[in-house]
Amino acid sequence: MAYKENYEKWLASPVVDEATKAELRGIAADELEIEGRFTAMLDFGTAGLRGIMRAGLNGMNVYTVRYATQGLADLINTCGEDIGGGVTIAYDSRNNSPLFAEQAACVLAANGIHVNIFDELRPTPELSFALRETGSIAGINITASHNTKEYNGYKVYWSDGAQLPPEHAAQVSAQLKNIDIFDDVKLITMEDAKDRGLITVLGSAMDEKYLKNVVAQSIAEDAVEKYADDFTIIYTPFHGTGYKLVPEVLDWIGMKHVLTVPEQMVIDGDFPTVKSPNPEYVEGFAIAIDMARKNNVDLIIGTDPDGDRCGIVVRNGDEYMTLTGNQIGVLLLDFLIRARREAGTLAPNSAACKSIVSTTMANKICDVNGVKLFEVLTGFKFIGEKIKEFEASGEYTYLFGFEESNGYLAGTYARDKDAVVASMLVAEMACWYRGQGMDLYQAMQALYEKYGWFSEKVLSFTVAGFDGPQKMAKLMTDLRENPPAEFGGLKVERVRDYKTGVITDLRTGSTLPTGLPASNVLFYDLEDGCSAIIRPSGTEPKVKLYVMVRADDQAASKARLDAVVESGSALLAI
């Protein structure tokens, strides 16, 4: 019953504050709650930490943040690399984010590591940019992205601006097993750290450098100048970090009519106007859509709390409808190729990147336009790694990268998805298409007519109970031992097992390597260019099903999508 010992240790520790102890005393009669909080520490992986804000080893709180930071500090001080500018820290609008950022800074400073910390909340991509700008060896961002208000997280970045490499994450995780959460964590006050010259506060000067790099990706200045007079946008940051820089960048490029949603411009970690602050879902845009109808608005743009995901609502006649992350991705990809070709700035060795679970429509667009497409595992750090490879070899010039979960990046100034640049490019693209007599809904239909009717859907299946991880592991084992023969009437032709690194052709029995790092993903290549992918979440008790189909017309594409979704959903009913 190690969890009970951990519980008693926290109650007895002089390090733990009285408010935390009171919270823990409040669960004294709830054995399952104690077990859930104290059986194990939050997993520290390549995405850092993410969990519900609560007392205990399995929660996001000042003690787990300090603990993780001590592990990171030990890595930095023993890795043999130049520490350079130290560590850069940013945070979002979530409850406790400023507190967790400050505590991380104090632990790093106590370990003799210089800290650059922002004076207030900033978008995630600015952290990626700023750590490279300051020459930092690492970066920390306190955020849980688009999760609900109960969550917070701790993302770690390395010197290239991408999230922590797997080998470094493993070192931090191993180190945490060797140190005590209270006794071995070094800590000084923020005042002491500043007195010792170990803290540099970053402000508007860094914003300006970052925005200049964002605006450098602009490609349709003439279209904006021509149509901005009568083009209206509504923007919402969903109570988060985009509230300042997105309107600013839209102003920089010349958009003249940008309205904001007043209720959602308020910085509030409770996200009071939305059930979930996720721009993937139309529900969060309800207030903005109501405003749009009243103000005859052309386009709505929304960004998530940490400013790395961008969603849009487009006008279709008198109605407003969201586009999926995949649809936005292929619109931007095709737009950048065509606009850069028109401007004479499309490099002959241009390359784009997307995650393996993102639409194969991107493959078709790149093939038709002579652009090399690279597919990577889920996680924008893998796109960041490709950018680094391209710069080192000179073989390719990075054009654009995206993930189906509304993450986009043009330019190499950052190594993570950027909703600020995405918002700018969406606005430019809308003006560019207006010059062709189309809105973005019509533009999407035109892409289907040109490249084929592709349809995608992502479903999440929550696995309830403390044994959720075991259930998910068993599901994946069963699928590997007994692979499905078909999905929705479409035969499985190949199975890509990214955990074993092997692609098996079920028609011939031949095998090939995946060529990608190990990841617990099963990718089923179906007949006629369709696919089904199953992946357990690394941060939540969920299994995700990704379905991607294609057909010659819209009706056939929808029918295929529905059939594969039904088949896959039945398979994952655990």
The catalytic site residues sit at 145
Name beta bridge partners: 250.
none
Name beta bridge partners: 48.
45
CA distance 359 to 150: 31
Closest C-alpha among 306, 283, 503 to residue 416: 306
Structure tokens at 481: 């031992």
3-state secondary structure of 510: coil
Q: From its phi and psi, is residue 259 left (phi > 0), alpha (psi between -120 and 50) or beta?
A: beta
Task: For residue 198, give the amino acid letter.
Answer: L
CA atoms within 13 A on the CB side of 270: 3
Q: Say what angle helices 62-78 and 166-176 make with each other, to 10 degrees.
A: 120
Burial (CB count within 10 angstroms: exposed 0-12, middle 13-18, buried 19+), residue 438: middle
Q: Say what angle helices 419-434 and 440-451 make with each other, to 10 degrees.
A: 80
What are the residues whose beta carbons fall under 8 Å from the beta carbon of 316, sequence distance 6 or more? 439, 441
Task: Give CA angle at 388 (382, 391), nearest 5°.
Answer: 145
CA distance 248 to 255: 10
